[in-house]
């Protein structure tokens, strides 16, 4: 028989007990609990067991002791189980300490206890979580926000995964979006024109979770690839372009339409974008390798991240392939920003000059975010 000392802890305990309350009769009493085992996770040890075939509704008592200490302590009484399984969670533990546990069934009429045959040992690790993730970035894509961050937490020997949270109420409310075993995550539930705020934590194999990173925002916006517009000199009705909020609306308009944001013109000097009545273009384009460096972008990817807030004008701009040009347009008195990346300047089989390009449009008024930040 194991030597025991009674001590009450937790909220599942019933009344005070003394040594005289523990009666053990190896020749009779209740059917013992079977399959006793215990596991550690996130600053708690869960002891669990199965009901024996002869179980008749008896309560169970859980006993524990530190390894190296002679006597067991009574820590809890469990009076209900679910689907033939019972468990008790012990949170009164310390890091870097090992504990032994056993369980007994108590006859309600005689008080006789029948102990489990097995005593289980659990080694509690250090409670120290992995490092807090750093350098969180949010890249706004079309109806999607793509997040990436520093992978230093993986250097922790016990690292398991990252957890990604959606924040609201100024960060007071956190909703777990999911886990990731890599330093990146794609929120495919984000909506165009709606700003979302995110933070990331790291967790180890024992469930210890770090604090969350500094929060970052992302506002998805429509973007499209492979758009084609003709030169006003060759096909004027297909030479105008208007930024759109939805792919259900054709962005190609007549080159003389007052709703156009620009039209394409060509001369001996090259291909020109000519701003429409409600649009201005930043006079300095930038070399880019992609419209947006999103998911699976290589390390050398270059995009234009945030629209400038000033410097726009109505002057025509000479364009080059692989350059991105940023626009400011006014709709219903509200400023919106867009980007056009030229992928090809050339002619079709009939000799008509054209431009193929990718484009993005921020539908949230005043938001200059076209990618990261």
Q: With 50 as the cut, is the pLDDT of residue 17 above it?
A: no
Domains of the chain, CATH where assigned: 4-124 (2.60.40.10), 137-218 (2.60.40.10), 223-361 (no CATH)
What confidence tens digit (pLDDT) does each residue in 168-215 have? 988 889 999 999 999 999 998 999 999 999 999 999 999 999 999 999
Q: What integer is the mean pLDDT of 300-313? A: 91
Higher local confidence (pLDDT), 2 or 248: 248
Which of 354, 320, 353 is closest to 226 using CA atoms? 354
What confidence tens digit (pLDDT) does each residue in 64-100 have? 999 999 999 999 999 988 888 999 999 999 999 999 9
Q: What is the pTM of this model?
A: 0.73
What is the spatial distance between Cα 246 and Cα 239, in angstroms, rounded to a whole number?
20
- Helix H, strand E, coil C: the string for the chain is CCCEEECCCCCCCCCCCCHHHCEECCCCCCCCCEEEEEEECCCCEEEEEECCCCCCCCEEEEEEEECCCCCEEEEEEECCCECCEEEEEECCCCCCEEEEEEEEEECCCCCEEEECCCCEEEEECCCCCCCCCCCCEEEEECCEEEEECCCHHHHCCCEEEEEEEEEEHHHCEEEEEEEECCCEEEECCCCCCCCEEEEEEEEECCCCECCCCCCEEECCCCEEEEEEEEECCCCHHHCEECCCCCCCCCCEECCCCCCCCEEEEEECCEEEEEECCCEEECCCCEECCCCCCCCCCCCCCCCCCECCCCCCECCCEECCCCEEEEEEEEECCEEEEEEEEEEEEEECCCCCEEEEEEEEECCCCCCCECCEC
C-alpha distances out from residue 296 to 37, 186, 222, 299, Å: 44, 11, 19, 9
Contact 356, 228 (CB under 8 A): yes
Average pLDDT in the chain: 89
Q: How confident is residue 33, by pLDDT bands cut at 50, 70 and 90?
A: very high
At 361, list the tokens.
């449009």
At 367, list the tokens.
């938001």
Q: How confident is residue 270, by pLDDT bands cut at 50, 70 and 90?
A: very high
Cβ contacts of residue 46 below 8 Å, gap of 6+?
38, 39, 40, 87, 88, 89, 90
What is the spatial distance between Cα 304 and Cα 322, in angstroms, rounded to a whole number?
12
Question: What is the reported pLDDT for 26?
Answer: 45
Which of 340, 356, 357 is closest to 348 using CA atoms? 356
The total of other beta-carbon atoms located within 10 Å of residue 14's CB is 12
Question: What is the reported pLDDT for 348?
Answer: 87
Higher local confidence (pLDDT), 126 or 292: 126
Which of 273, 271, 211 is closest to 243 using CA atoms? 273
Contact 279, 340 (CB under 8 A): no
C-alpha distances out from residue 19 to 114, 216, 219, Å: 16, 58, 65
Question: What is the reported pLDDT for 54?
Answer: 79
Question: What is the reported pLDDT for 229?
Answer: 96
What confidence tens digit (pLDDT) does each residue in 90-144 have? 999 999 999 999 999 998 888 889 999 889 999 999 999 999 999 999 988 888 8
């Amino acid at each position: 028989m194991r030597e025991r000392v009674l001590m009450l802890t937790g909220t599942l305990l019933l009344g005070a007990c003394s040594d005289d309350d523990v009666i053990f009769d190896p020749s009779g009493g209740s059917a013992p609990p079977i399959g006793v085992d215990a596991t550690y996770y996130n600053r708690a040890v869960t002891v669990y067991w199965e009901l024996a075939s002869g179980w008749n509704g008896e309560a169970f008592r859980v006993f524990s002791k530190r390894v190296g200490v002679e006597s067991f302590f009574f820590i809890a009484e469990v009076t209900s189980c679910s689907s033939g399984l019972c468990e008790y969670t012990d949170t009164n533990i310390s890091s870097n300490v090992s504990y032994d546990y056993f369980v007994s069934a108590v006859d309600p009429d005689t008080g006789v206890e029948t102990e489990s045959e097995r005593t289980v040992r659990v080694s509690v690790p250090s409670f120290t979580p992995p490092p807090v993730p750093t350098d969180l970035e949010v890249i706004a894509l079309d109806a999607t926000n793509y997040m990436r961050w520093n992978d230093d937490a993986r250097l922790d020997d016990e690292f398991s995964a990252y957890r990604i949270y959606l924040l609201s109420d100024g960060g007071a409310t956190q909703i777990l979006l999911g886990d990731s075993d890599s330093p990146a995550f794609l929120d495919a539930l984000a909506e165009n024109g709606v700003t979302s705020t995110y933070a990331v934590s790291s967790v180890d194999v024992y469930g210890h979770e770090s604090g969350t990173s500094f929060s970052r925002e992302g506002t998805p916006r429509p973007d499209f690839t492979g758009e084609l517009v003709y030169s006003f000199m060759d096909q004027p009705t297909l030479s105008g372009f208007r930024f759109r909020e939805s792919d259900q609306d054709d962005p190609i308009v007549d080159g003389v339409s007052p709703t156009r944001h620009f039209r394409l013109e060509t001369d001996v000097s090259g291909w020109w974008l000519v701003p429409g009545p409600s649009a201005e273009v930043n006079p300095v384009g930038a070399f880019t390798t992609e419209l947006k460096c999103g998911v699976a972008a290589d390390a050398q990817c270059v995009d234009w991240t945030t629209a400038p807030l000033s410097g726009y004008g109505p002057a025509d701009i000479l364009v080059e392939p692989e350059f991105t040009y940023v626009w400011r347009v006014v709709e219903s008195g509200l400023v919106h920003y867009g980007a056009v990346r030229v992928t090809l300047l050339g002619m079709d089989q009939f000799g008509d000059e054209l431009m193929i390009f990718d484009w993005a449009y921020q539908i949230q008024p005043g938001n200059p975010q076209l990618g990261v930040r």
